[in-house]
Amino acid sequence: MSENRRIVRAAGLVGFYTLISRIAGLVRDAVIGYHFGTGMAADAFFVAFRIPNLLRRFVAEGAMSVAFVPVFTDYFTNRSRRAVGEAASALASLMVVALLALSLAGIILAPWLTAFFAPGFVKAPEKFALTVSLTRWVFPYVLLVSLAALCAGILNSVRHFAAPAISPIVLNLAMIGATVGLCPRLQEPVRGLAYGVLIGGVLQLGLQIPPLLWHGVSVVPRWDPRHEAVRRSLGLMGPMVFGAAVYQINLMISTMLASVLPSGSVSYIWYADRVFEFPLGIFAMALGTAALPSFAAQAGRGAHDELRQSLSFAVRVNNCIVLPATVGLISLSTPIVSVLFQRGVFGAQEVRLTANALCAFALGLWPVSLVRLLIPAFYAVEDARTPVVAAAAAFLANCVFSLLLMGPVDGPGDSPFAAAIAAATQVTSLADLRHVGLALATSLSATVNLVLLAVALRRRIGAWGGSEVRRSFLRSAVASLVMIAPVHYLAALADWTQPGATLLHAGILAVAVTAGVGTYVAMILTLGGEELRWLTAARDRLRMGGHDRHNGRG
C-alpha cells in the first residue's frame, strides 16, 4: 500500500472520530454557555481550565505524542515486544514522578499563576479567588492526560489510531454529564465543571489500556531514567514543547490580555476558539497525526524523495478542505454562533461579539493547519531546532500584533502585569479592536510561523511544493470564493438575533452549509484535481469499518 493511501486512510479514521469529538465538544460548550453564559463563573473556569489545558496541548497533541512516534516506530520495527514494554514502562514511570511534582507545584502556585495569566482578575477579589480554587482542582488533569498521551504515541507508532482519537470524546461527555447532572446540585455550581474534567481524564487514560495490551505492550513500574528510549524521547520532546504548541501559547497570551478588557472578553475568545478548533481538529490534526508515522518511516530509510511527495500530497489535501472551511466560517460566523450558543443567558450581544472573534480566528485556519502539517516533517528528519526558532518568532509577533490591535486600556487593580500591559497599549495601539484584535493577532502570528517553516523545510529536504501545490491552492481558493454567493443568500433569510428559533435557524444553517459544500464540490470537479478522489477513498474506508481487517489495526 502506498504511503499516500496510508495517510489518507488513517486521516479519514482519525478525522471521523475527531468529528464526533468536536461535535461533542460543541455540545459541551453549548451546555456550558446555557448554564453559565459569559459571566464571572464562566470567565473563571475558562481561565482555570486554560492553564492546565495549555499543558495538555503540549503533551497530548504536541510534544509527547509527536516525540514518542519516531522512537517507538523504531522499537516496533527493530526490537522485541519485551523491549517495547520496557521502554514504555521506563517512560511512564519517569513521567508519573515528574508530573506529580508539576501538579503539586501547580496547586501550590495557583494564586500566582492566576495573577500572571489573568492579571485583570486581580481587581475583582471574588472572581480571582474562584479562579484560583478551580485551577487547583483541574491541575491534576495534566498527569492523567499526559499518561494518556504516552499510550497514544505508542499506539500511533503501530498505526492504531482509533483509541487515541476516541479519547477526547469521553472528556467532553464527562464535562457534559457534570454540567447537567452535577453542577445544579452544588452550592457553587461551576465547581462541577472541574470535577467533570478530572473524571474525563481518568476515562481518557483507561481507554488506552486495552489496545496496548492487545498489541502486547504491558506498562508496569520501571525506574530507569537512563533508558535509551527515555533519552531519545526527552531529547526530541524538549524543543517540541515550544515548537508544536506555539498556537496554544499565543491563545494563552490572548486570554491574559483579554482579562484586562471588558468583562466577557475571555469568554468571547474561548467560545470563538472552540468553533475554530472544530475544522482544525478534524482535518489538520488528523492529517498531521496520520502523516507522522509515514514521514518517520520514509526519513528513517533516507527516502527524501518519497517524503517530499507525501508532504506535497498532504498539503494539497489540506488545501482542498481547509480553504473552503475558512470561507465558510467567515461567511456563516453569526449563524454558527447563534445556533450553537444563543440560549439561556447567552444573548444576541454575546453572539455578535463572539462571531466577530470567530471571523478573526478563521483567517488563521489555513496557516495554522499547514504549520501542524509541516512540523511533523521536521521531527521525522530529527530537526527539532527549526520549529523552535520559528515558534519563537511567531510568539514575539503575536505579542506585538496583540498590543497593536487590542486598543489602549487602563491599568486595573494592583496587578503589576495589568499595569505593564496597560502602559504598553497606550504607546503601541494602532487599532482599537479589543478582543477581536487579539484573535486577529493569533492568525497573523500563525502566518509568520508558516512562512518561516516553509522556507526552512525547503532548505532542509529540497523543493517539496512546486506547481502542484500552487495549482491546488488556486483551485480551492477560486471554488471557495464562488460558494460565498449562495451561502450569503441563504443566511440572509433568517434574523439570527432572534432568540427561541433554534430549530428554524439550525435548518437554515444546514441548508446554507449544504449549498456551500455542493457549490464548492461542483467547482472543484469543474476545475480538476485529484484531491477529491483521495478524500472519497477515505470516506469509503470509513464505510468499511474504519480499520484494517488484515492486520487488526485501528
What's the average model confidence in pLDDT over 474-483?
92
What's the average model confidence in pLDDT over 392-396?
89
Instruction: Give 452's pLDDT tier (boundaries 50, 70, 90).
Output: very high
Predicted pLDDT of residue 72? 72
Instruction: Indicate the residue type of 319.
Output: N
Least confident of 96-100, 234-238, 383-387: 234-238
CA 190 to chain CA centroid, Å, is 24
150-182 pLDDT tens trace: 777 777 766 677 777 788 888 889 999 999 998
Q: Which residue has the higher pLDDT, 217 or 385?
A: 385
**Nine-digit cell string for 106:** 501547580
Residue 269 pLDDT > 60, yes or no? Answer: yes
Residue 54: what are its φ and ψ, rounded to 5°?
Answer: -60, -45
429-444 pLDDT tens trace: 888 888 999 999 999 9
Predicted pLDDT of residue 490? 93
Predicted pLDDT of residue 469? 83
- What mean pLDDT value characterizes the chain? 80
Where is mean pLDDT largest: 61-65, 308-312, 411-415? 308-312
Distance between CA 551 and CA 554 in Å, rounded? 9
| CA-closest candidate to residue 217, choices 64, 73, 84, 72 | 84
User: What is the greatest pairwise CA distance in the chain?
Assistant: 65
Q: What is the DSSP letter of 493?
A: T
Instruction: Measure CA of the first residue to CA of the last residue in the chain; give whole Å.
Output: 16
Distance between CA 503 and CA 266 in Å, rounded? 28
Distance between CA 324 and CA 95 in Å, rounded? 41
Where is mean pLDDT largest: 153-157, 175-179, 342-346, 370-374? 175-179
Distance between CA 404 and CA 156 in Å, rounded? 41
Predicted pLDDT of residue 288? 66
Residue whose entry in the numeric block shows the C-alpha cell 489545558: 53
Residue 536 pLDDT > 60, yes or no? Answer: no
Predicted pLDDT of residue 544? 45
**Nine-digit cell string for 239:** 524543543
Residue 426 pLDDT > 80, yes or no? Answer: yes
Residue 63 pLDDT > 60, yes or no? Answer: no
Instruction: Give 64's pLDDT tier (boundaries 50, 70, 90).
Output: low
Predicted pLDDT of residue 554? 38
Share of the chain above pLDDT 90, in %: 21
124-139 pLDDT tens trace: 888 899 999 999 999 8
Alpha helices in 280-303 (DSSP H): 286-300
Predicted pLDDT of residue 119? 79
Residue 121 pLDDT > 60, yes or no? Answer: yes
Instruction: Indicate the residue type of 105.
Output: A
Residue 527 pLDDT > 50, yes or no? Answer: yes
Least confident of 46-50, 284-288, 323-327, 524-528: 284-288
Residue 347 pLDDT > 70, yes or no? Answer: yes
| CA-closest candidate to residue 542, choices 23, 157, 162, 132 | 162
Residue 450 pLDDT > 90, yes or no? Answer: yes
Share of the chain above pLDDT 70, in %: 81
Predicted pLDDT of residue 458? 85
Q: Which residue has the higher pLDDT, 446 or 218?
A: 446
| CA-closest candidate to residue 260, choices 132, 411, 388 | 411
Residue 40 pLDDT > 50, yes or no? Answer: yes
Residue 466 pLDDT > 60, yes or no? Answer: yes
Distance between CA 193 and CA 178 in Å, rounded? 6
